[in-house]
Amino acid sequence: MPDCIFCAIAGGDIPGRIVHETEHSLAFLDVNPLAPGHTLVVPKDHYARLDDVPDEITADLFRTVDELVPRVEEAVDADATNVGINNGPAAGQEVEHVHVHIVPRFDDDGGNP
Ligand code: 5GP
Ligand code: ZN
């Protein structure tokens, strides 16, 4: 998928601030973070929507998210996280490659992003 920015990061064609990698998944910092430590977790292969992703890769993706949430919180001393997917353009998906947002939250950050 040559026009996909997340495929380009996964393929090493453009730089990404990569924080973790598994067999099927890659985690890197969001270039325009909603909060310090805002991390994206993606399947290395290109899938546009969550229900396109094969079960084995979905399991790897969410296991990776599960492992990273406490690490991200610790890294930026967050009090909580929003974890979510914009699944489809009408839901706000701008990059057409499945990605899970991990957005650190703080007691005093004034509400939802
Ligand atoms: P969406 O709205 O599709 O759920 O979120 C896309 C996210 O990707 C946004 O938070 C945006 O800042 C991030 N993003 C867009 N282009 C790049 C990029 O080239 N590198 C990185 N690291 N993040 C990107
Ligand atoms: Zn892609």
pLDDT in tens, 91-102: 999 999 999 999
- pTM summary value: 0.96
Of 12-16, 41-45, 109-113, give the range with the top mean pLDDT: 41-45
Residue 26 CA to residue 41 CA, distance in Å, equals 6
Q: Is the CB of 6 under 6 A from ligand 1?
A: no
For domain 5-105, the CATH class is: alpha beta
Q: How far is the CA of 29 from the centre of ligand 1 (A)?
A: 9
Cα-flanking dihedrals φ and ψ of residue 100, to 5°?
Answer: -105, 125
Q: Retrieve residue 25's tokens.
A: 């998944």
- What are the sequence ranges of the domains in the chain? 5-105
pLDDT in tens, 37-76: 999 999 999 999 999 999 999 999 999 999 999 999 999 9
- The Å distance, Cα 98 to ligand 2 centre, comes to 8
Q: How far is the CA of 17 from the centre of ligand 1 (A)?
A: 12
Sign of CA dihedral 83, 87, 91, 95: positive
**Ligand 1: which atom is nearest the Cα of residue 95?**
3
Whether 24 is a known active-site residue: answer no
Question: Helix, strand, coil % (nearest 5) of the chain?
Answer: 30, 20, 50
